[in-house]
Structure 1
């Protein structure tokens, strides 16, 4: 059975189940320490922009989700990436500024349904939802999880790496490009987590007993540690990808 794409505007009753879709095993716990993410918590987005929360539903069960927020585009895509757009969306909503762009904050496929190409189906549903909302474009600060295997490599160099067929070496960037996305550049400071060392020890199980850069499982770059001041900061780079907004893919029903 092919999953059906719906938005929470059509199916508000699915909100709890959509947000209950788990992340894959081993997903980094430390991202929960992002203060900016509090601005776009699930309930807020579902209440303010339910038309921009899409889900794939199979046998009445949500199996994947795509979450977006609207904002008024500025002159360039920001180096601060995910964090900047979360703030812009909140600012524009508070100030009554009409948005013209959607930003994808998250795509998640239930671990039990992975390996079926559903990420591309979610992307198609997201593009359709953006088109239906009257917004002009969709941009996504993509988090390529395989970058965690080479945390010391710059994201610019990582994103430039392509296969012999011209597609990105990274599997998640490759999914976006195959779905029609265009790599626009790197958001060098896309998401920031700063917390006392006690929190980092709880999130990672590491001692955090020395200063400098510390490699943490799941992190795309080293975590910068100050034992003297008892805190650590993680600054994550992402890759900006734009998607053409059309109404030619899987219908949202």
Structure 2
């Protein structure tokens, strides 16, 4: 393992230097990127997996539960998965700035909140989809998160009456092959990979970092990750503060 930094200001200075020197940097992020925007993660002490519900969250976010308990799925989905009041934090904003100035090639994210795009990022590969796309399973019509929030019970397509499903990857479903391949290509071509706000325990998404063959890997995460051992730099601090440069 390379150097470990716990001071956010020092981490910000190091990140700025490494992005400046990179030719094709990629950011791979998870739920921790959005916690500063008020969106809870899953596995931390205050995360969804530690809160009490009628069913475990990982059950309610499964394909089988969606099929068998569609109305209950949507009750949970509206209450916990759609956060329309959330705004991009400094990490989202800086990543968009880095892309605009040619210092970041792509963002690969496990998040479904759309905050990278809201901050201005253009090349964003959403491994697990987005709450902002909801698709009729019969005719393919698409609906916004705002539209879903305005419905009650099981949302039905206004065109054909078909069931509307969030364009998010539920447990038991496969990742979108086009998004997956584009993410692999971006990571494989990168000379700098910055991994941020993720515990790297959700597969197959976490396995994508294994395609990195570039010069420098940086991990920005409060808690240890499986990638720390091979990282050139570990920033064990708040990610929004680390990107405040």
Please indicate, yes or no, whether the TM-score normalized by the shorter chain is above 0.5. Answer: no
TM class by shorter-chain length? Answer: under 0.3
With CA pairs under 8 Å and 6+ residues apart, which has the higher RCO, 1 or 2?
Answer: 2
Q: TM-score normalised to the size of structure 1?
A: 0.25
Q: TM-score normalised to the size of structure 2?
A: 0.26
Report the structure, 1 or 2, having the larger strand content. 1
